[in-house]
């Protein structure tokens, strides 16, 4: 076998002992390796004794001492290289390198000499360490692990008056207190620092800037602001502390809960005359808020979109209270989440409207950036929320309408607002006729009210694209037609009619005029709109004219009768024309009025369906008591839907007599109106009584002769034909006979 083939077989043989899946490093090996690393540090450069050489030797003693401590907790490795410029000094043993410290008070807490002396490789015999500095480092483990005893020792230390931040840092290390794991001790130390009779805010600022003492979650930044809420402090010192808080915000060292506490506490800071900062100096408060906002924007850890909703809500509430609308608008835009609907855009706009209503002389800029910077759905939701809130406002009618009118003017002048019409939020409400599993929030308005409010908004938005007489296509046309169709679907489900219900809902909402009736007629109507109809719809929408007054004007009534036919019909049905009081009122109008007052009464008769139906039932006469019939006539209870037929005929006869004798009517007008009543009776099957025939003869013949007017032959023959038909030929002969002197004849005059 060749040597190469033997080598291959030898390489393929499995090892005699199994390989380990991990490498074990003992504590001794690790300590020895770290000791060699610490002792092997050399500074390459000049070896001339001086300050640099003393610092090098101090660093070597520090590293050696750290390597020889086997049972002590692991130190922060960054301290070996001088973190923050001062952390490498925490092992120093010389009073001239430390801040003033109450050695006597610390010595009282010492518990014995160290168990293992420090070994210094290049120890300087002239500078010996004082035995009281590290006397608690190697104390009894049972003593240091006792929580109650450790808290008692710390409390006794904090009761002293001459300790500083460096002293507190060293003492917590000796007690083996990890402030990062137990931030309550950091809060305790900071509160005792602030609780001194004359607290040194310079030390407080240094404490806040110290990452070892001021640990995350301790709430020291909020506590620093709370001291200004309790006691009055000079403005310069207060600003210095707040600047330290802003530096911490830039570094992302303050938790979100603590930021919320700071925001709510700033307006309550006591300033001059024992007043708060929020009520005394709004500009200073806004300046602090601006600095905090800028610091958060410069932070790479905590950005605007990382802020909790609690922080944003508390902050915006304070900004709206101080009327900082531009700042609030910027905050809403920066913290906006397109996936959620926030109420703050609408709250901002409504607060601006209310402020302008109270102080109209102050020209506050309209916060229109939220409509261009936010997404389309959020902008549409904002304008809808503002309109619904203003419409449901319990305030008096005049201020409420003024707010709505100002809101309408703002929307009409906004140029970018027309893009809001493309949103699908306009149709985001539950319909009663649609079964859905989605749970909607309780609505302050009914579905019909919501549709009308959105139509009012879209009509306003349409004005921003040009004058309304311009019939070109607009972005608001499609949602308007869809909403009108939805409204028609809703009222059909509730057995309603379109235009009457539409006008009633507009009156219930009491909205400023926005030509909604004309809009509905343009989109849903099929007839041309005249100036009279346009003016009538405007008066109806603004409640300047009621439907009860419309039917008195023939031209207006004919124009809108088709739109409000159901309402007119219901209105006429509710009127009981056979009521004695109503009959007397009608007759007084006929006797004293002219044709303009009488024609509405005739139209009322023509539109009262129950009255027309009852006329043909009057052919059965009422039996006279002398006839002694077995079944007597007992008129039952009557109402507007079932009038008495004989009372209806009696009303027609009295009207004919009053019209024939009315002095405010010409003979031609009297005969024309009486003839209209005759055709009304014949058309609806009512009986013609002799009383009615005589009234027609008086109006068409007698009054003409009295006034010296010429009677048409056709008219004369027609009247005689009616007399012959209902009175008999004998009466006609009497009427056409020549007058006889000394004779007697039937006198109808």
DSSP line for 528-549: ---HHHHHHHHHHHTTSS-HHH
Length of the chain: 749
Burial class (CB in 10 A: 0-12, 13-18, 19+), 346: buried
Q: How far is 118 from 460, CA to CA, in rounded Å?
A: 85
Q: How far is 54 from 568, CA to CA, in rounded Å?
A: 108
State the pLDDT at residue 626.
64
Specify the DSSP class assigned to residue 624. Answer: P
Burial class (CB in 10 A: 0-12, 13-18, 19+), 404: buried
Q: How far is 303 from 293, CA to CA, in rounded Å?
A: 10
The neighbouring-strand residues paired with 276 are 270
Q: Which of 142-156, 436-450, 631-645 has the highest mean pLDDT?
A: 142-156
State the pLDDT at residue 704.
92
The neighbouring-strand residues paired with 270 are 276
Q: Residues 33-50: what's their mean pLDDT?
A: 66
State the pLDDT at residue 57.
80
Q: How far is 267 from 285, CA to CA, in rounded Å?
A: 7
Q: Where are the beta strands (DSSP E) in 314-391?
A: none
Q: Which residues, 6 or more positions from 608, have their beta carbon under 8 angstroms from its beta carbon?
A: 572, 573, 575, 577
DSSP string computed for 429-485? S--TTS---PPPPPPSS-HHHHHHHHHHHHHHHHHTTS-TT--S--TTHHHHHHHHH
State the pLDDT at residue 694.
92
**Pick from 132-146, 250-264, 515-529: least confident:** 132-146
Q: Which of 66-75, 109-118, 274-283, 561-570 has the highest mean pLDDT?
A: 274-283
State the pLDDT at residue 527.
67
Phi and psi at residue 276, to the nearest 5°: -85, 160
| Whether the predicted pLDDT of 745 surpasses 60 | no
Q: Residues 259-267: what's their mean pLDDT?
A: 91
Q: Residues 167-174: what's their mean pLDDT?
A: 84
Q: Residues 420-428: what's their mean pLDDT?
A: 84
Phi-psi region of 217 (alpha: psi -120 to 50; beta: other; left: phi over 0): left
CA-atom Rg of the chain in angstroms: 50
Between 701 and 33, the higher pLDDT residue: 701
Q: How far is 217 from 212, CA to CA, in rounded Å?
A: 13
Specify the DSSP class assigned to residue 630. Answer: S
**Pick from 20-29, 356-365, 429-438, 727-736: least confident:** 429-438
State the pLDDT at residue 110.
37
Q: pLDDT band at residue 376, thresholds of 50, 70 and 90?
A: confident
State the pLDDT at residue 42.
59
Q: How far is 35 from 668, CA to CA, in rounded Å?
A: 133
Q: How far is 177 from 213, CA to CA, in rounded Å?
A: 11
Q: Which of 40-49, 90-99, 347-356 has the highest mean pLDDT?
A: 347-356
| Whether the predicted pLDDT of 107 surpasses 70 | no
State the pLDDT at residue 140.
47
**Pick from 62-71, 146-155, 463-472: least confident:** 62-71
**Pick from 326-340, 625-639, 681-695: least confident:** 625-639
% the chain with pLDDT above 70:
72
Q: pLDDT tens digits, residue range 185-197?
A: 888 888 888 887 7
> pTM above 0.85?
no
- The answer to whether the beta carbons of residues 295 and 249 sit under 8 Å apart is yes
């Amino acid at each position: 076998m060749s040597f190469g083939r033997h080598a291959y077989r030898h390489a393929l043989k499995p090892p005699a002992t199994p390989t380990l899946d991990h490498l074990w490093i003992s504590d001794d090996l690790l300590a020895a390796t770290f000791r060699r690393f610490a002792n092997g540090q050399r500074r390459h450069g000049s070896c001339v004794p001086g300050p640099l050489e003393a610092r090098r030797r101090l660093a070597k003693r520090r590293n050696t001492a750290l390597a020889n401590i086997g049972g002590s907790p692991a130190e922060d490795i960054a301290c070996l290289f001088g973190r923050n410029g001062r952390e490498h000094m925490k092992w120093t043993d010389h009073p001239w390198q430390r801040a003033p410290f109450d050695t006597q008070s610390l010595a009282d807490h010492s518990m014995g000499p160290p168990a293992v002396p420090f070994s210094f490789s290049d120890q300087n015999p002239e500078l010996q360490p004082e035995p009281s500095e590290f006397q608690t480092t190697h104390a009894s483990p049972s003593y240091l692990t006792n929580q109650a005893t450790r808290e008692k020792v710390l409390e006794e230390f904090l009761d002293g008056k001459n300790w500083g931040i460096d002293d507190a840092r060293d003492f917590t290390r000796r007690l083996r207190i990890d402030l990062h794991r137990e931030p309550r001790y950091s809060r305790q130390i900071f509160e005792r620092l602030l609780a001194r009779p004359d607290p040194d805010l310079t030390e407080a600022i240094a404490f806040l800037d110290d990452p070892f003492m001021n640990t995350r979650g301790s709430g020291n930044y909020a506590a620093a602001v709370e001291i200004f809420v309790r006691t009055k402090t000079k403005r310069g010192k207060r600003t210095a502390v707040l600047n330290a808080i802003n530096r911490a915000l830039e570094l992302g060292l303050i938790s979100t809960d603590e930021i919320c506490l700071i925001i709510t506490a700033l307006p309550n800071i006591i300033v001059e005359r024992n007043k708060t900062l929020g009520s005394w100096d709004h500009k200073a408060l806004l300046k602090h808020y601006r600095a905090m906002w800028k610091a958060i924007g410069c932070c790479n850890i905590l950005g605007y979109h990382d802020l909790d909703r609690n922080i944003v809500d508390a902050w915006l509430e304070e900004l709206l209270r101080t009327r900082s609308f531009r700042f609030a608008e910027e905050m809403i835009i920066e913290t906006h989440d397109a996936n959620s609907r926030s109420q703050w855009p609408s709250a901002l706009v409504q607060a601006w409207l209310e402020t302008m209503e109270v102080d109209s002389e102050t020209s506050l800029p309209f916060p229109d950036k939220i409509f261009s910077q936010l997404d389309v759905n959020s902008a549409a939701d904002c304008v809808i929320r503002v309109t619904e809130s203003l419409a449901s406002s319990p305030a008096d009618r005049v201020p409420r309408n003024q707010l709505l009118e100002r809101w309408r003017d703002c929307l009409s002048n906004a140029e970018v607002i027309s893009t809001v019409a493309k949103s699908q939020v306009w149709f985001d409400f539950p319909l009663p006729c649609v079964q859905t599993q989605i749970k909607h929030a309780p609505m302050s308005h009914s579905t019909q009210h919501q549709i009308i409010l959105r139509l009012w908004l879209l009509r306003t938005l349409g004005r921003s694209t040009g004058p309304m007489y311009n019939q070109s296509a607009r972005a608001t046309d499609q949602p308007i037609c869809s909403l009108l169709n939805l409204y028609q679907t809703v009222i059909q489900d509730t057995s309603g009619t379109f235009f009457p219900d539409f006008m009633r809902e507009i009156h219930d909402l009491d909205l400023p005029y926005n030509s909604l009736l004309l809009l509905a007629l343009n989109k849903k109507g099929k007839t041309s709109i005249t100036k009279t109809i346009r003016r009538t719809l405007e008066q109806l929408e603004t409640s300047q004219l009621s439907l009860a007054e419309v039917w008195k004007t023939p031209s207006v009534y004919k124009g809108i009768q088709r739109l409000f036919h159901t309402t007119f019909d219901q209105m006429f049905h509710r009127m009981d024309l056979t009521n004695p009081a109503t009959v007397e009122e009608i007759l007084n109008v006929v006797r004293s009025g002219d044709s303009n007052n009488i024609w509405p009464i005739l139209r009322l008769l023509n539109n009262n369906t129950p009255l027309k139906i009852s006329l043909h039932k009057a052919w059965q006469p009422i039996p006279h008591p002398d006839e002694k019939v077995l079944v007597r006539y007992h008129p039952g209870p009557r109402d507007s839907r079932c009038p008495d037929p004989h009372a209806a005929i009696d009303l027609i006869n009295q009207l004919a007599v009053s019209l024939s004798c009315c002095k405010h009517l010409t003979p031609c007008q009297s005969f024309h109106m009486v003839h209209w009543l005759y055709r009304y009776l014949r058309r609806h099957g009512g009986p013609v009584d002799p009383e009615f025939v005589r009234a027609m003869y008086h109006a068409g013949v007698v009054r003409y002769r009295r006034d010296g007017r010429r009677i048409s032959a056709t008219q004369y023959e027609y009247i005689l034909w009616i007399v012959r038909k209902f009175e008999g030929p004998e009466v006609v002969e009497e009427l056409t006979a020549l007058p006889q002197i000394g004779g007697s004849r039937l006198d109808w005059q």
